[in-house]
Amino acid sequence: MIGVAIGTMALIVVLSVFNGLGDVLRSVYHTYDADLKVVPKTGKSFSLSEEQLKQIRELNGVSSLSRIIEDNAVAVYRDKQAVVQIRGVEESFMETGKLDSFLWRGKTMLREQDQEYAVLGAGLSAELGILIESDFYRIELIYPRNLRPGALPSTNSVRRLRVKPSGIVSIDAAIDERLMVVSYPVASRLLDYDNRYTALELYLKPEANTSRIEQQVASIIGEEYSILDSDEQHGDLMRAVKIEKLFAYIALSFITLIASFNIFFSLSMLAIEKRRDMAILFAVGATHKIIRQIFLKQGIIIAFVGAIFGLVLGLSLCYLQDRYGLVGLGMANAVVSAYPVKVVWTDVLLVTFSITLITMATAYRPAILASRLNPIEFLD
């Protein structure tokens, strides 16, 4: 019973932690990501007509949209250089305040009068040694031109633009180490995208129906494009979390199965100790089916009581962790200070069903053996 309770508790706590981590990832990325993102199914860039863009803007629930250009370039600052991911955004993106939510130092400004600015991720800023307060240094962005086959590289084979760092944001370590946000015109000139872009981002109103708008956008732009929601924009990461949760569930269920062998041995010993009592039951008319049911019901009672205790302990630990943060992450710059937990009731039902099934499976064999005893051998 103790093994069943501990296994149930462990499953509830671990699955709730994975649910909590998934929610934290969603909240972080949703704060920065667009509600919907349109990308081409084939190719790297695309362009929609002004009529299509107008129809999308006028959809009920759409707050604004922004054309996005994303590509890699080389950034040189003083004596350091790094490969960066240029993200060219329109003013409508800046008006959403998404960058402001992650501002660490400086300002989220991309253009002032004739001066072009850039907002950098914290990791990239540290790698280049960016001095936000300095007016003497600029970031030089370098991108290769499209050369004709057989043409030799020259000083004119690359495009160069200079921007001034205006601010540093801290979003996520994987993003921060390469992110450089510039204005859409700067990205278009540097990367030579002309009137094309790599994505179209839609920002919705709080009360908007995301699924309905996704269907409406698809009817406007056709089947040549993919429309990604917040989770789908980080599909690989969210799938990895789900797979790790699945493997944790399988591993802990297997451990619980091993622990449940105690029930197997206990019921087997009980069957041996109670042979005389079973012989008496057989003598007064009990059938093999009745004896088998007695042992199965005993196994079910053990499973039920153990699962109840485990559920109470697991849910109590999740509540205390959520309320008081008993176990911290131990990371100064973490998004949350303690392990996040979220109890999903479908997980609770799944754990209860799994524990009951495992326990009944281990109790079935002793019940069969007990029902096959020959009562004559144990009567005086």
Mapped to the 3 state alphabet, what secondary structure does 93-142 carry? HHHCCCCHHHEEEECCCCEECCEEEEEEEHHHHHHHCCCCCCCCCCEEEE
Note whether 205 and 333 are same-domain residues. no
Residue 152: predicted pLDDT: 45
Q: Are residues 168 and 71 in the same domain?
A: yes
Which residue range forms the structural domain that includes residue 49? 34-229
For 76, phi and psi rounded to 5 degrees? -120, 130
Q: What is the pLDDT along the chain (380 residues), one digit of tens a residue?
A: 677 888 889 999 999 999 998 888 888 788 888 999 999 999 999 999 999 999 999 999 999 999 999 999 999 999 899 999 999 999 999 999 889 989 999 999 999 888 999 999 999 999 999 988 888 889 999 998 764 444 444 556 789 999 999 999 998 888 899 999 999 999 999 998 888 999 999 999 988 999 999 999 999 999 899 999 988 888 788 888 889 999 999 888 888 877 777 777 777 777 777 777 777 777 777 777 887 788 778 877 877 888 889 899 999 999 999 888 888 776 656 667 788 899 999 999 988 888 878 877 777 777 777 766 665 555 55
Q: Which two tokens stand for residue 15?
A: 């699955």
115 neighbors 210 (Cβ within 8 angstroms): no
Does residue 288 share a domain with residue 216?
Answer: no
Task: Based on the fold, state whether residues 19 and 76 are members of the same structural domain.
Answer: no
Examine the domain organization and report whether 93 and 178 are in the same domain. Answer: yes
What is the CA angle 314-316-322, rounded to 5? 105
Which residues, 6 or more positions from 162, have their beta carbon under 8 angstroms from its beta carbon? 116, 138, 139, 140, 141
Task: Identify whether residues 164 and 241 lie together within a single domain.
Answer: no
pLDDT of residue 273: 75
* Beta pairing, strands 158-169 & 139-144: antiparallel
DSSP 81-93: EEEEEEEEE-HHH
**At CA 271, angle to CA 270 and CA 275, rounded to 5?**
115
Residues 138 and 162: their CA atoms lie apart, in Å, by: 6
Which of 229, 262, 284 delimits the end of a domain? 229
Contact yes or no for 169/117 (Cβ under 8 A): no
pTM of the model: 0.74
- The pLDDT, as a whole number, for residue 277 is 74
H/E stretch holding 77 reads strand 62-77
DSSP annotation of 338 reads B
Mark whether 14 and 50 lie in a shared domain. Answer: no
Q: Are residues 19 and 42 in the same domain?
A: no
User: What SS3 string covers 236-289?
Assistant: HHHHHHHHHHHHHHHHHHHHHHHHCHHHHHHHHHHHHHCHHHHHHHHHCCCCHH
SS3 of 294, please? Answer: helix
On whether both 188 and 90 belong to a single domain, the answer is yes
Q: Return the half-sphere exposure (C-beta side, CA atoms, 13 A cut-off) of residue 282.
A: 20
Distance separating alpha carbons of residues 379 and 236, to the nearest angstrom:
67
Distance of alpha carbon 186 from alpha carbon 177, whole angstroms: 21
Give how many domains the chain has, as a whole number. 2
Instruction: Say if residue 172 is in the same domain as residue 48.
Output: yes
* Domain boundary pick from 229, 249, 282: 229
Pick the last residue of a domain from 229, 262, 283. Answer: 229
Does residue 219 share a domain with residue 74? Answer: yes
Question: Quick one: pLDDT at residue 267?
Answer: 73
Same domain assignment for residues 372 and 271: yes
